[in-house]
């Protein structure tokens, strides 16, 4: 038994190291001089620590507006996260509490869309956005991301675990559906909402394909797309590219650290019945 546990711990440690290694190499390269980056003998720890890559990045801010890309990513990711929580929580509340014809069938249809690869929907969604005149606009970047069947499923399963007696007592006191939803359901669903929030924020922050095809203005780009342009222009200067990537990863790391305690709790409490 001890041997099996030791083997399991070694395997998990190895897997964790493999997952962390790219991030460690990125940060290490960001603080290396260009000569050391291109050295034939790689070093995980910089032999000479320097911030020149970040200085060069700041010098080229006019040509490559990384500050604007950063602001775009923050604004779009936060907007997508907040609006997704609002839309999916209302849909989940309807599927878990309200009774209407075709409710179960509609829920199955919504959940079934998770099996459709997102790439299949790119062209139809792009055509819709273009017809609506939202190409190269912030609404065009935000609105298509609000449809989250995973969010509806996650929150619906959590809402089912909330005792109905709380809602019945509130209804007897004259509370409306909106009051019950906003004053009872939402406060009790904070673990699930936090879990969905971090997943949504990270997915939006790291999204590359949709911002690439729905924008054509350099200042409308988000960080992932902007960094790809930067890397294509300075193909030999890996240190600058890694410095930009390190800066772009900071908000995602902060978001994860803020909500990490809620993630496990939310997943553990979701889907217990129903």
pLDDT greater than 90 at residue 127 = yes
Residue 46 CB contacts under 8 Å (≥ 6 apart), including other chains: 28, 31, 32, 36
* Predicted model pTM: 0.79
What are the chain's domains?
27-269 (1.10.3720.10)
Residue range 232-267, pLDDT digits in tens:
554 556 777 788 888 888 877 777 777 666 666 555
Spatial CA neighbour of 148 closest among 120, 118, 171: 118
pLDDT for res 271: 45
Residue range 167-216, pLDDT digits in tens:
888 888 888 888 888 888 888 888 888 888 888 988 898 898 899 999 88
Residue range 166-180, pLDDT digits in tens:
888 888 888 888 888
pLDDT for res 263: 62
Region 18-44 average pLDDT: 81
């Amino acid at each position: 038994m001890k041997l099996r546990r030791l083997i399991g711990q070694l395997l998990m440690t190895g897997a964790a190291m493999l997952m962390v290694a790219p991030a460690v190499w990125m940060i290490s390269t960001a603080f290396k001089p260009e000569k050391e980056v291109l050295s034939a003998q790689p070093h995980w720890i910089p032999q000479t620590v320097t911030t020149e890559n970040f200085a060069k990045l700041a010098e080229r801010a006019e040509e490559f507006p990384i500050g604007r890309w950063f602001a775009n990513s923050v604004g779009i990711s936060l907007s997508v996260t907040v609006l997704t929580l609002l839309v999916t929580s209302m849909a989940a509340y309807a599927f878990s509490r309200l009774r209407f014809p075709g409710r179960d069938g509609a829920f199955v249809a919504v959940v079934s869309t998770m099996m459709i690869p997102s790439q299949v929907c790119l062209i139809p969604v792009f055509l819709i956005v273009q017809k609506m005149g939202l190409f190269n606009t912030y609404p065009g970047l935000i609105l298509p991301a609000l449809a989250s069947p995973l969010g509806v499923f996650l929150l619906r399963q959590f809402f089912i675990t909330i005792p109905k007696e709380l809602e019945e007592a509130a209804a007897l006191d004259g509370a409306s559906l909106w009051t019950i939803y906003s004053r009872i359901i939402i406060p009790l669903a904070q673990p699930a909402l936090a879990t969905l929030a971090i997943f949504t924020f990270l997915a939006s922050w790291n999204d590359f394909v949709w911002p690439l095809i729905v924008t054509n203005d350099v200042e409308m780009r988000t960080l992932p797309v902007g960094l790809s342009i930067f890397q294509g222009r300075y193909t030999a200067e890996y240190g600058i590219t890694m410095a930009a990537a390190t800066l772009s990863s900071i908000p995602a790391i902060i978001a994860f650290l803020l909500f990490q305690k809620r993630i496990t709790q939310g997943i553990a409490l979701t889907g217990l019945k129903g």
